[in-house]
Structure 1
């Protein structure tokens, strides 16, 4: 009789622990969903940044075309040729440096997006593991209830 009562107490404590674990797992799942939403928002920001970079590159290409046209005009106007050519050379170097910086930024953005995709896959795996753990806990609780009834 005492052993049966002790078993009942142990089963009750185990059931309380299972419920507590389920609550903790649910809170963890909510935190993971919030993290996933934050990652999606970050991904949207990265896509917007990429669009802005593409627009900047188009503007730079248009600027380079304008600079080439300006060089043709400068060849015609020989008076200001030397000063303007030096200015154009400096501008083109600055444009090349800017384009290199834009390419590096785009590479970093692509790497960031890959990392975000990997993070999202990891989050999905964690959520699947949590679901499996919750199923195991439910089965354990059913076994405990059956054991308590028996």
Structure 2
């Protein structure tokens, strides 16, 4: 199988996405970690996911809310931040089946958060009988 690397440029596409690990021959890479400027990559499937979510009494796009949340330049993902992200994800029927993977907090950081996707009430993947792990990514704050 041929292998292709795709650089996700969020300057042109201001959206959040799930990266689902799989042997596809496509590797997605992008800058993450705020001012730390990590270069993360994973082979898999790219799924845009940018619903309106509730914030301060109005709807905003998920990517915009995540960018505002991480506007300080960089932020490690600890239990407190994971709880905040879970609250954001639970505010939309599209993302309420996602939660931060607490077992992978050490590998998560701004714009690259490991999540669990539950098969229960999953609007994005209604035919998935089992849950799966993925990476939630969005435009980097640097």
TM over 0.5: no
Structure number with higher helix proportion: 1
With the shorter chain as reference, the TM-score category is under 0.3
Q: What is the TM-score with the length of structure 1 in the denominator?
A: 0.20
Greater C-alpha radius of gyration? 1
Structure number with higher strand proportion: 2
Q: What is the TM-score with the length of structure 2 in the denominator?
A: 0.21
